[in-house]
Amino acid sequence: MRPPETIGAGEGTERPLLLASASPRRRELLEALGIPFEVAGAVPFRELTERDNAALSPSEFVWYNALGKGLAAGRLHPERHLLAADTIVRLGPRLFGKPKDRAEASAALAALSGKFHVVETAVVAVRPGGGVTGGIERTRVLFRALSARQIGRYLDAVDVSDKAGSYAIQDHGEWIVERIEGSFSNVVGLPLERVAALLAGLRR
């Protein structure tokens, strides 16, 4: 997978992509692709959480958050190409966001234990002037059957406070995950194949 070159800003100048995300995992993934980028500052957009979502389907929920972040950043930086993303973990219609404490994290891992769940990441690319393209990547993840002791060991080893679903597949994922079906990087937080295709499209 060849990474796209720096995205041109017109008039013979080039500006790096702006990433509208504070996630260190997404920064690391883009760096691994070799894509020049800068991180946008805070944007004036209030994300929905799984606790205050009453009407949207899981896919609508994750798309709403990614699109909202991308458009809000675009209003602050109208001359730049932007990338925004949002990731959720769902078991049927139930959404698992970032845990508020260890007890909630432990309960989330217990609920996912021994079952397939789906990780969905919505990725949005915004052109200067507000043109938007994007999509949703889905990966199925099968958890091992976990005992309370195994869950406690995992939470002792991994800080999950900022991780949807209360786990990070890149951090001792082999302790809790039996197999995945689909994009591994999507479970980390950014589907690289889809991102590369979106960014290549911005250069046309």
Class of domain 8-202: alpha beta
Dig out the tokens for 132 from the structure: 């938007």
pLDDT band, very low/low/confident/very high, at 200 (cuts 50, 70, 90): confident
pLDDT, position 203: 65
| Chain mean pLDDT for the chain | 89
**pLDDT value at position 2?**
40
Averaged pLDDT for residues 105-109: 97
**Predicted pLDDT at 14:** 64
Range with the poorest average pLDDT among 10-24, 142-156, 185-199: 10-24
Quick one: pLDDT at residue 55? 84
Q: What's the pTM value of the predicted model, to 2 decimals?
A: 0.86
> In sequence order, what E strands does 8-158 have?
8-10, 13-14, 17-19, 37-39, 82-91, 94-96, 116-126, 132-143
Comparing CA positions, the residue from 61, 23, 29, 19 lying closest to residue 192 is 29
Give the per-residue pLDDT at 48. Answer: 84
Predicted local confidence at residue 13, as pLDDT: 44
Asked if pLDDT for residue 10 goes beyond 50, the answer is no
What is the rounded CA–CA span in Å between residue 66 and residue 51? Answer: 17
Residues with catalytic annotation?
86
Terminus-to-terminus CA distance in the chain, angstroms?
18
Q: What is the pLDDT of residues 11-66, one digit of tens each?
A: 334 689 999 988 888 999 999 888 899 998 788 888 888 877 778 899 999 999 99
Confidence of residue 4 (pLDDT cuts 50, 70, 90): very low
Q: In the predicted model, what is the mean pLDDT of residues 134-159?
A: 97
**Of 130 and 69, which is predicted with more confidence?**
69
**In this predicted model, what pLDDT tens digit does every residue of 62-101 receive, in sequence order?**
999 999 999 999 999 999 999 999 999 999 989 998 999 9
Q: What percent of the chain has pLDDT over 70?
A: 92
Instruction: List the chain domain ranges.
Output: 8-202
C-alpha 41/C-alpha 170 separation (Å) is: 26
pLDDT at 130: 76
| Structure tokens belonging to residue 163 | 């991780």
Angle between helices 148-157 and 102-112 (to 10 degrees): 130
Strands 8-10 vs 116-126: parallel, antiparallel or unpaired: unpaired
